[in-house]
Amino acid sequence: MATNLTVLAAQPRNEFGKGAARRLRRDGRVPVVVYGLGLEPMHVHVDILEFQAILRNEGVNAVLELEVEGEQHLVMVKAVDQNVLTLNVDHADLLNVKRGEKVEVDIPVVFEGEPAPGALVTQDADVITVLADVLNIPEEITIDVEGLEIGHQITAGDIQMPANCELVTEADHLIINIVEPQEEELPEPGEDVEEPAEPEADNGAEDAEGDNAEGETEE
């Protein structure tokens, strides 16, 4: 949850296009667009190491103060594009917000504990959508599965919502399912494994070869 907000310095972008974006990344900068709350879209760039540290420490829904030319804007990370090879951030969208506002966000769901002996936990959804106070967005929601028996299910509506959060995901959306492990069937020791049948000889081709041979002999 956001308490002491991180301040991230940004500089306005003066060049646009793929070439300009590549030059920024080469210099250790990330192209960023800021929008929302009646604000004209603002194109800036930030230090890649500082920005990635914020994501690592505060999560994908990080809220921070973005400082641009002496002015501070309260923003929330809305979208991040990562390079598929280096995993570095290539581009980011930041949403301009205000204190006291509620925003719709996807919150990661994790589970803790061990189910009953012989049971297995399967997770059908990794996130749920909630409406949360912008300065009190939970980093994740934890579900306790300790001792749960086979057949037990947990839906979004079963989850205790953190303070200042309202569930947006459908209440009957399945999150956790406690199931019986499926054993893979293996061949019994000594059991013959059926081998693919060998292709049959092409009698037609053999007959044709025989006819040709006879014709040559007659000549």
Domains and CATH numbers, the chain: 7-98 (2.40.240.10), 104-179 (2.170.120.20)
In the numeric block, the tokens 């972008």 are attached to 13
Q: What is the mean pLDDT of residues 89-96?
A: 94
pLDDT higher than 60, residue 93: yes
Q: Which residue has the tokens 């990080």?
A: 62
Average pLDDT over residues 145-163: 96
Q: What is the DSSP letter of 24?
A: H
Nearest CA to 52 out of 78, 11, 87, 24 is that of: 87
Other Cβ atoms less than 10 A from the Cβ of 87: the count is: 9
What lies within 8 Å, CB to CB, of 33 at 6+ separation is 41, 42, 43, 44, 91, 92, 93, 94
pLDDT at position 196 is 59
pLDDT score of 154 more than 70? yes
Average pLDDT, the chain: 86
Residue among 44, 139, 40, 37 nearest 95 (CA): 37
Q: How far apart are CA 125 and CA 156, in angstroms?
A: 9
Cβ(66)–Cβ(75) below 8 Å: yes
What pLDDT is attached to residue 185? 64
- Amino acid 104: pLDDT: 94
pTM value is 0.71
Give backbone dihedrals phi and psi of 24, rounded to 5 degrees, phi first.
Answer: -60, -45
216, pLDDT greater than 50: no
Q: Does the pLDDT at position 219 exceed 90?
A: no
Sign of CA dihedral 89, 95, 99, 104: negative
CA 137, 71, 37, 29: dihedral to nearest 10 degrees? -70
Give the whole-angstrom CA distance, residue 128 versus residue 65: 26
Whether the per-residue pLDDT at 142 is higher than 60: the answer is: yes
Share of the chain above pLDDT 70, in %: 82
pLDDT band at 59 (very low <50, low <70, confident <90, very high): confident
Whether 161 has a pLDDT exceeding 90, the answer reads yes
> Which pLDDT belongs to residue 133?
94
**Residues 13-28, mean pLDDT to the nearest whole number:** 88
In the predicted model, is pLDDT for residue 97 greater than 80?
yes
